[in-house]
Chain A
Amino acid sequence: MRISEDEIRKLTLEAIEELGGKATPDMVKMVVQKSVSKLGELPDEISSPNLTTGRIILTSFGINHPGIIAKITQTLSEAEIDIKDLSQKILDKFYTMIMIIDISNSPKNLKDIQEDMAKCAEELKIKIYLQHEDVFRYMHRI
């Protein structure tokens, strides 16, 4: 984990403000060091956003009916895939769901999972797309 000088200076100023006028240089140093080491403990996915991960974005949409999410999540769990985030919207009869999944611990590769999902989609009469997260990161984040 790399911290720029600016960030350290900002931390120090914050620490001085928190500790008040009575703080000795040693006390400030101790608090800052503690904060810095805490920063280092952040999980990798937050501290290094450039890392290519096994994160896949699953988008599905179609006419809403019961059992869609149940079927999709069941297929995912059978492939030992972790769901990292999920969001859905319903507009009249249509539903849209977007899921962020992590396939790095799954015994299956992306191709197999896409094939499983294609079967799901056919059964449920909806559309399911699986795309690597990078394409969204490249297109929507500078």
Chain B
Amino acid sequence: MPYQFEEILETIRMTEIEHFDIRTVTLGISLRDCVDRNIEVTKQKIYDKILKYGRNHVAYAKEVEREYGISIANKRVAVTPVSIPFDNYHMEDFIEIAKVLDKAASEIGIDYLGGFAALVQKGFTKGEHELIKAIPYALSETKQVCANVNVASTKAGINMDAVNLMSEAILSLAEKTKDNGSIGCAKLVVYCNVPEDNPFIAGAFHGVSEPEVVLNVGISGPGVVLDAVKEAGNCDLNTLAEKIKKTVFKITRAGELIGNKVAEKHKIPFGIVDISLAPTPAPGDSIADILKAMGVEDVGAPGTTAALAMLNDCVKKAGLMASSSVGGLSGAFIPVSEDQGMIEAVRKGNLSLEKLEAMTAVCSVGLDMVAVPGDTPASTIAGIIADECAIGVINDKATSVRILPIYGKKVGDMFDFGGLLGAAPVMPVSKLSSKNFVERGGRIPAPTRSLTN
């Protein structure tokens, strides 16, 4: 037999018991040729183009799922940042565009579509300003559209005006979706150093340097890594790193295969594998559990950042060896509400916002799905975003903030969004004011790291 008994059973165990799945196959579609002076024509062009390429997306993904016995949790679409082709439009037009994107998404049967986005790290165009103004309306009046705005980069520094605008937008969106636990904020990400090929919602968009249409894939598999760590037992950290790398290597290979096959069915180019470890609220599918299995008593204990750094590095090394087309965010995600272990750590008071911020310095994204009291002032949210951007800018890495100031909720309350978004415990936020700092506005200049060219 060309495969050993154990090898075959290992794969079956991963897919059937340890929740190994492909988290998302994301179809990237360029909308740059959809612009017209007449908004109605533009809307029709957008709708037609998404349907042209995306019509069979779900069906193709399901076929591949069946052939290889690996489930694909989400089928999604990302489009060109809407502010770029439609820069001459006004706020009302952008809301209309969000609605047509929503309609197209539900027509092709996907759950989320990303790309209601703008890149404003160095300054705004008129259209970008209008798009940001439209975000609270666009996201509260649609279900499937996700937005993201890049407000900082290592090359440009931090656009504090954009940070302030975004914190206002987040609060306004929280208020507009107050009947559903401010769920609108779960669809809005503020970025620093955003990657252009990230397949993971809510931060996905189809970057300007991407081809006409492309297929990117995001893998997932905290459960598989957790079992590998448990199996390794009481070994030293070198041995543990080896064990994690071997496991991640295998799941990345499977991810690349699935991505290639879905792209083949679409007859479009395959883009990248995002080798992120993405948790879900399902038991055993948790990054927090991996950190605990590595040896810290709970997430938030001293040593947590070191454990996460090692885990993240092993994921990157193994992924890069396994695939020649690694891209996107590629690291470990630590969303609070989507990870049962993180939720528990917050509820027990073991994990604070400050420790979480330190952890984001060594893993792939930032403060993700963090619920804070609904009465948090805009300047405090701006301060949190600015801190997160500073980590990204100085360390030349992607960071993000997806914060949920849940309307009417106080520290200790919980809100259950259901599904993949999970349940968010409201975390305490420092009462100290950042007002005078963030309201200076302007731009924090680029650090010296960017002046190497």
Q: Which residues does A use to contact B, with CB under 8 Å?
A: 57, 59, 85, 87, 89, 96, 98, 100, 110-111, 114, 129-132, 134-136, 138-140
A135 — nearest CB in chain B belongs to which residue? B68
State whether the Cβ of B444 lies closer than 8 Å to any Cβ in chain A: no
A98 — nearest CB in chain B belongs to which residue? B8
Q: Does the CB pair B9–A96 fall under 8 Å?
A: yes
- How far is it, in angstroms, between the C-alpha of A49 and the C-alpha of B2 when the chains are bound? 11
- Chain B nearest CB from A61 CB (Å) reads 8
- How far is it, in angstroms, between the C-alpha of A131 and the C-alpha of B254 when the chains are bound? 12
Q: Does the CB pair B7–A110 fall under 8 Å?
A: no
- Chain A contact surface mostly: strand
**Residue in A85, A129, A130, A138 whose CB lies within 8 Å of B254:** A138
Q: Does the CB pair B256–A132 fall under 8 Å?
A: no
- Nearest 8 CB-CB pairings of A with B: A131-B69, A138-B253, A138-B257, A139-B250, A140-B7, A135-B68, A85-B1, A132-B67
- Chain B nearest CB from A116 CB (Å) reads 14
CB neighbours (8 Å) of A129 from chain B are 12, 16, 69
B257-278 contact mask (Cβ, 8 Å, vs A): 1 or 0: 1000000000000000000000
Task: Give 30 A-B contacts (CB < 8 Å), ordered by A residue.
Answer: A57-B8, A59-B9, A59-B12, A87-B1, A89-B5, A96-B5, A98-B8, A98-B9, A100-B1, A100-B2, A111-B66, A131-B68, A131-B69, A132-B68, A134-B68, A135-B68, A135-B70, A135-B254, A136-B7, A136-B8, A138-B253, A138-B254, A138-B256, A138-B257, A139-B7, A139-B11, A139-B250, A139-B254, A140-B3, A140-B7
A131-B69, A135-B68 known; A98 and B256 CB under 8 Å? no
**8 A Cβ contacts from B1-33 to A:** 1-3, 5, 7-12, 16
Q: Does the CB pair B11–A98 fall under 8 Å?
A: no
Tell me which of A87, A129, A131, A139 has the highest count of chain B C-beta atoms within 10 A of its own C-beta: A139
Please count how many residues in chain B sit with their CB below 8 Å of the partner chain's CB atoms. 22
Given A98-B1, A98-B8, A140-B250, 11 extra CB contacts under 8 A: A89-B5, A98-B5, A100-B2, A129-B12, A132-B67, A134-B68, A135-B69, A136-B7, A138-B253, A139-B11, A140-B7
- Chain A nearest CB from B275 CB (Å) reads 14
Q: Does the CB pair B9–A139 fall under 8 Å?
A: no
B250 — nearest CB in chain A belongs to which residue? A139
Q: Which residues does B use to contact A, with CB under 8 Å?
A: 1-3, 5, 7-12, 16, 66-70, 250-251, 253-254, 256-257
- Chain B contact surface mostly: helix
CB neighbours (8 Å) of B253 from chain A are 138-139
- Chain B nearest CB from A49 CB (Å) reads 9
Q: Does the CB pair B66–A110 fall under 8 Å?
A: yes
- Chain A nearest CB from B365 CB (Å) reads 26
**Residue in A87, A89, A100, A135 whose CB lies within 8 Å of B11:** A135
CB neighbours (8 Å) of A140 from chain B are 3, 7, 10-11, 250
- How far is it, in angstroms, between the C-alpha of A132 and the C-alpha of B1 when the chains are bound? 15
B3 — nearest CB in chain A belongs to which residue? A136
- How far is it, in angstroms, between the C-alpha of A88 and the C-alpha of B70 when the chains are bound? 23
- Chain B nearest CB from A124 CB (Å) reads 17
CB neighbours (8 Å) of B8 from chain A are 57, 59, 98, 136
- Chain A nearest CB from B131 CB (Å) reads 41
**Residue in A96, A131, A136 whose CB lies within 8 Å of B67:** A131
